[in-house]
Amino acid sequence: MSTNTAHTHRTVEAVWRIESAKLIASLARMLRDVGLAEELAQDALVAALEHWPKEGVPDNPGAWLMTTAKNRALDRLRRQQLIESKHAELGHDESAQVTRPDFEEIASDDIGDDLLRLVFTACHPVLSTEARVALTLRLLGGLTTDEIARAFLVPEPTIAQRIVRAKRSLAEAHVPFEVPRKEELAERLTSVLDVIYLIFNEGYTATSGEHWMRPALCEEAQRLARILAGLMPQESEVFGLLALVELSASRTRARVGPDGEPILLLDQNRARWDRVLIRNGLAALARAEALTGTLGPYALQAAIAACHARARNASETDWPRIVALYDALAALTQSPVVELNRAVAVGMAFGAAAGIELVDALYGDAALANYHLLPSVRGDLLLKLGRHAEAQAEFERAAAMTRNERERALLLKRISECAQPQSATRN
């Protein structure tokens, strides 16, 4: 493969990650078949891999993919209409009415928010909760099965099977491509929120690759959360999620250095935090709090993010308040990842010894067996306690487990710090 071809292939992959969700959503509206929509979107991707190395990358690559995919979808619909017409003629049934769709209307983009329709279609009750989340991450986030598996902390084959079965189930059940009626919205809401949250997380800290963040995914999650808040203005957790993604996204510019290196929370220049997003996030949190007496998981996480947003500098962070919020969150979720985050907060509020006691209790949890942040957090706490050799071993374990190149570089830097007795690096 020539250098030019390799560069073009990388460009195609980058464009695909940005445009695939819109592409699949638009095709799904046209075809009313999510599996077929993904298949034709993949056909457009193959066409790009064939044509762009020879003809050059078009000025608007997203529009090129969309046009190519829609043309193939229209060809498919026309063939289907022709077959139905022939069957009617052969049946000599003069009363048979063959549907003749308006192809211009079908191809039009001016038909509401296709992405939101796709979210609710993929979150249909005919699917299990796990399948709904996995399928929507695949279709809207453009995530690979490996990335989704790591987000779920389950084996990759399990996610692959969920996705295949989910698409088959949607097709067999003839699930309509639409935003559900008002009385059906609530039952799908939890899965929809989970989907948006996991999409945001993958953008905020990428599972793999050479970049620590994938801002396009964060922006897409924010957009979906804002749309959902407009659609369901009386749902506290919708505003809790919106507050969480806005407050977290406010740190984006400060999370990455000039060479793309990660900058951890306590080391960030808070002057670079986006004050508009912070205001929006705090307003959404206030709305969530006004709608309910007891905060749900997303609103609790947003309240934790708000503690950081309100602190003018790292030293002013209200860690005891954050610990209390994690206590409530852990009681609701029973999540080992939440317990790990709680241990970090305890370490900040009450000392590294208190934090490491909680971390050590998590080492027998199977769900965290391949979770690189477990040894990373333990290594940080050990380093603060002056146990440098043990800390180095934990950072080495974490570096071997992570799939993100930037995060691995950060962990290798932490390993070098273990040789410096004066080091007491913050997490």
Q: Give pLDDT tens digits for 47-90.
A: 998 989 889 989 998 889 999 999 988 988 888 777 766 666 66
**Which residues of the chain form CATH 1.10.1740?**
1-95
Mean pLDDT (whole number) for 370-378 = 96
pLDDT band at 98 (very low <50, low <70, confident <90, very high): very low
Ramachandran angles phi, psi of 301, nearest 5°: -65, -35
pLDDT band at 7 (very low <50, low <70, confident <90, very high): confident
- Provide the pLDDT for residue 317: 98
Selection from 244, 227, 230, 342 nearest residue 285 by Cα: 244
Residue type, 292: T
Q: Is the dihedral of CA 282, 286, 292, 293 positive or negative?
A: positive
Q: Residue 409: CB partners within 8 Å, gap ≥ 6?
A: 261
Is the pTM above the cut of 0.95?
Answer: no
Q: 391-397, long-range: CB within 8 Å, 24+ apart, which pairs?
A: 391/418, 392/418, 392/419, 397/372
pLDDT band at 376 (very low <50, low <70, confident <90, very high): very high
| Predicted confidence (pLDDT) at residue 151 exceeds the cutoff of 70 | yes
CATH: 3.60.21.10, 1.25.40.10, 1.10.1050.10, 3.40.50.720. Which one for 332-427? 1.25.40.10
**Which residues of the chain form CATH 1.25.40.10?**
332-427
State how far the alpha carbon of 46 is from the alpha carbons of 36, 252, 402, in Å: 15, 33, 30
Q: Round the CA-based radius of gyration of the chain to a whole number and report it.
A: 24
Tokens of 161: 């099977």
State how far the alpha carbon of 404 is from the alpha carbons of 211, 262, 411, in Å: 7, 11, 11
* Domain range 1-95, CATH architecture: Orthogonal Bundle (1.10)
Tokens of 197: 């949250």
- Provide the pLDDT for residue 355: 98
Q: Is the dihedral of CA 346, 351, 352, 358 positive or negative?
A: negative
- Provide the pLDDT for residue 226: 92
